[in-house]
């Protein structure tokens, strides 16, 4: 019986240590989530890179994103993603095609709203260290999937401004060796965004077939 009590004590001490390590990360992320939830809308600009040494991928693009509630509009290089909260349209210029899907099926895709709240579901977090990013003091927090077998990424690294309480950079490491880096260059809270921004207008893309998933 004493051995059982000893084992339980050790387990509780270990669990307590884990939670104390993550408590700082959770506090920072909770504070950031609270800030994001107070916004009716936001606008971001970012630089993005996608690299994979195994298949030779090395791409760099700039992007912009408008988010209002559960609606969003994103431009990334020559591609555009529009969602009215019910349907999502992905316009691929190179293919001259539009892919339509239910917004509820967008869990695997990355959009500006998901990027700015990616830590909220499906991940464990761990505070790593404090650092400087472009001369600005930041917290560095690692995310790990709660269910690794079902996750696309094995690690996500977040850089969060200590003074502005904003996500400044996110590095997403996929299981196939792809590393995606998003660096925020501009963030505007509560801009006025007309709902027409989130309406897909087929007439603006003549000759583009709409392919429904």
Determine contact, residues 91/205, Cβ cutoff 8 Å.
yes
Model-level pTM greater than 0.85?
no
Burial environment of residue 204 by CB neighbours within 10 A (0 to 12, 13 to 18, 19 or more): exposed
State residue 80's pLDDT score.
Answer: 93
Fold category of 2-212 in CATH: outer membrane lipoprotein receptor (LolB), chain A (2.50.20)
pLDDT at 205: 92
Domain ranges of the chain: 2-212
Separation between Cα atoms, residue 82 and residue 71, nearest integer Å: 8
Residue 8: what pLDDT?
41
Distance CA 136, CA 163 (A): 9
pLDDT at res. 135: 94
User: Within the chain, which residues score under 50 in pLDDT?
Assistant: 1-21
pLDDT tens sequence across 88-131: 999 999 999 999 999 876 665 678 888 899 999 889 999 999 99
Evaluate whether 50 touches 57 at the Cβ level (below 8 Å). Answer: yes
Question: By the 8 A CB rule, do 124 and 144 touch?
Answer: yes
Q: For residue 110, give Cα distances in angstroms to 118, 128, 194.
A: 9, 24, 23
């Amino acid at each position: 019986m004493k051995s059982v009590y000893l084992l339980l004590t050790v387990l509780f001490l270990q669990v307590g240590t884990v939670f104390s390590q993550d408590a700082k990360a959770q506090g920072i992320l909770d504070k950031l989530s609270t800030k994001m939830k107070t916004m009716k809308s936001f606008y971001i600009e970012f630089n993005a890179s996608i690299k994979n040494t195994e298949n030779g991928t090395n791409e760099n693009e700039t992007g912009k994103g408008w988010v209002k509630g559960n609606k969003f509009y994103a431009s990334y290089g020559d591609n555009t993603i529009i969602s009215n909260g019910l349907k999502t349209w992905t316009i691929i210029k190179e293919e001259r095609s539009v892919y339509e899907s239910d917004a509820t099926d967008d869990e695997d895709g990355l959009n500006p709203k998901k990027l700015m709240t990616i830590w909220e579901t499906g991940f464990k977090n761990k505070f790593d260290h404090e650092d400087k990013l472009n001369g600005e003091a930041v917290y560095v927090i690692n995310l790990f999937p709660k269910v690794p077998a079902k996750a696309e990424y094995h690690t996500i690294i977040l850089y969060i401004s200590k003074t502005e309480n904003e996500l400044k950079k996110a590095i997403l490491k996929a299981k196939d060796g792809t590393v995606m880096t998003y660096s925020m260059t501009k963030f505007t809270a509560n801009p006025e965004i007309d709902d027409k921004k989130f309406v897909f207008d087929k007439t603006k893309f003549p000759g583009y077939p709409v392919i429904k998933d």
